Amino acid sequence: MSNEKEIIRIMKSEDRKIVADMMRVFYASPAVLSNGSDEIFKRDIEACLGDNPYAEGYVFEMAGVVVGYGMIAKSFSTEFGKPCVWIEDIYVMEEYRGRGIGSEFIQFVMENNPNCVIRLEVEEDNKRAIDVYHKNGFSVLPYMEMKI
């Protein structure tokens, strides 16, 4: 962990461009299965900034500089019989990785969503992220995900 104070805060309107830029990098990386699109990124950001009860967006700052972002989606899990929070995106700029920012966001989500099941998806080849998730208490569910 660095000596610089990390701040996790709600995404603001003025964060639109930097978050969209980070989303382009994140979704073009091997960490994500799909490439997304500018239209999807725009809708995601607007959902986080608007009054959508299912989406929340956050940015991570160090010394006043935005160095990453996170997005969560809320639902209810009939499998677990309680509210569910999906960590949809965790992205930290390359030069700021390894400082515990991702773990801080996971802890933030858990603390701010008590009595919820917390879920996320990760690519099997993303060993670094998997290590972070295991360290924070996540375990693998043996599911095949499907979509339309």
List, in sequence order, every residue forming a beta bridge with 79; answer none if it has no partner.
none
Q: Is 133 a catalytic residue?
A: yes
Q: Which of these is catalytic: 27, 69, 133, 143?
A: 133
Distances (CA, A) of 6 to 52, 58, 83, 138: 27, 13, 28, 23
Strand order in the sheet with 82-92: 6-10, 55-62, 65-77, 82-92, 117-120
Catalytic residues: 133
